[in-house]
Each structure stands twice: as structure tokens, then as C-alpha cells.
Structure 1
């Protein structure tokens, strides 16, 4: 699936949390892209063919939250892996597209990087 380092798109409206998540992705050895809304994330996905995983927050401004974004990505770009996080909502993974992972905030950095590695290797567990 990869052409080198995996590319991970971080979608988070809070600039501080987004920077922290981007740092986490970079420190784990992946390439990071960032978007502050679902609409911006869709524009990035439409303009690039190298995004391997999207790590998104649930609550975001605009017409699409992270749950709707994850379903849209699964329908339009099925190979893209998905991690969804929220500090306000507790979600059962059954509310998300198959193979997605959910984490409540504050999340454990190691748990996120472990999930990224597992998803990118094809292990949804």
C-alpha cells in the first residue's frame, strides 16, 4: 500500500490539538497533512492520491462532523484507513465505517500510534 512513508491526514478544528496530533504522527515516522474542517479534508483528499489514513475529531464546525466525514471517506476512498477521536462523544465503533477505530480524548499517544501501525498493516484489531 505504501510508496515509502505513509501519509496521514489529521483533521482537527482546534489548532493546539491539531499541532499536537501532527507532532505525534511525525514522531512516529509518518508524513502528516492537516485540515481544520471536514470540508478542507475532502479538498485535500480530492487533490491527492497518497493519503493512507485520516485521523479526525468528531466535533467540527461546518456542514460535516467527523462521523459523517469518516462515512464519506469510506464510500469515496475505500482504501483510506480511519481513526476517529472525541472528547465529548463516546461512540461505539459500530457507528463508524467498518475497520475504523475510535478513541476518546484525551487519548494515549502510544495507543494512537499503535492503532495507526495496525491499520496501515491491514490489521483492524
Structure 2
């Protein structure tokens, strides 16, 4: 599981939940380093969970589009706490996880694809 979340408190909260669901988590705080890592380790993950709003030139939707184009076998879940992003995420055809999430909603989002690590 590749987790891309710039808020360290959110990342610290979600990682143990992902691990309890059986995921091995690799975390980055921005899209650019996540892409650099993913391009070299694509076989190491089968899912990407990304926040929408992040620092840097690329946001989470840009990252999701990149992953869809370059790593189409990966399951994508895009999370956001901003209602104004929900339409854009769903129009893009991405699975959305609304913040605040709970363990059950996170598990449902991950089960919607074929996520095992």
C-alpha cells in the first residue's frame, strides 16, 4: 500500500489501521517522491491511497491520473475532507474516501478493489 498524505497526524492515524487490515504501508508526504518511488518499485504495492490536497506541483488527483496511466493495475483510492472535491474525484472515475473516515469506511474502500498489500 502506497499512502500519500502530507498531514503527519492523519498519516500517523491511518497507518496502523491499514496495517491492521493486512497492508504493508509505504508513506510519502507529496506526489513527486511517491511517483519516483513507485516507478522504481511498482511490483511492491497493489494499491495507492492518496489525499487530494498536498504541497508541490501535483495534487492527489494528478497523482491518481498518473498512476492510472502508468500503473493501471494498481487500485486507487482518493481521500478528501473537502466536499468541493468529491464531484471531481468521482467524475474522474476514482474511488473516494471522505474524511473523516473510520476503519469500516477505509476497509470498504480497500475491498472495492483487489487490495492485499
TM over 0.5: yes
Gaps of 5+ in 1: 1-7
SS in 2 for 1:85: strand
Residue 109 (structure 2) pairs with residue 115 (structure 1): yes
- Which structure has greater helix proportion? 2
Residue 10 (structure 2) pairs with residue 28 (structure 1): no
Matches within 5 A, 1:1-125: 8-48=1-41, 49-88=43-82, 89-92=84-87, 93-96=89-92, 98=93, 100-120=94-114
Gaps of 5+ in 2: none
User: May I ask how many residue pairs the two structures share in their alignment?
Assistant: 112
After superposing on structure 2, the runs of 4+ consecutive aligned residues of structure 1 that deviate more than 3 Å are none
TM-score, normalised to structure 2, is 0.88
- The answer to whether the 8 Å contact 1:90/1:104 transfers is no
Structure of higher RCO (CA pairs closer than 8 Å, 6+ residues apart): 2
TM-score, normalised to structure 1, is 0.82
Rounded Cα–Cα distance in structure 2 between residues aligned with 1:103 and 1:86: 7
- The answer to whether the 8 Å contact 1:22/1:33 transfers is no
RMSD: 1.4
